[in-house]
Amino acid sequence: MAKRVMDLLQELHRGGATIVVVTHSAELTRRAEREVHIVDGSIVQHPLLGP
């Protein structure tokens, strides 16, 4: 993943922005503070445990 873009996202976040990003990237998900997993239109809080 492009480091420059990732750095900009983190810069935005450090600058006080709230960031909500839809992603399929494991790397980006790791960098987030929290993962929100949606299955069938509802949120599943613990993705590893399954629905």
19 touching other proteins, by CB under 8 A? yes
3-state secondary structure of 17: coil
Could you say whether residue 39 binds other proteins (CB under 8 A)?
yes
The tokens for 40 are: 């069938």
Asked if 48 interacts with other proteins (CB under 8 A), we say no
Residue 33 is classified by DSSP as S
What is the C-alpha to C-alpha distance for residues 37 and 45, in angstroms, rounded to an integer? 6
CB of 48 to other proteins, least distance (A): 11
Residues that bind other proteins (CB under 8 A): 1-2, 5, 8-9, 12-13, 15-25, 28-29, 31-43, 47
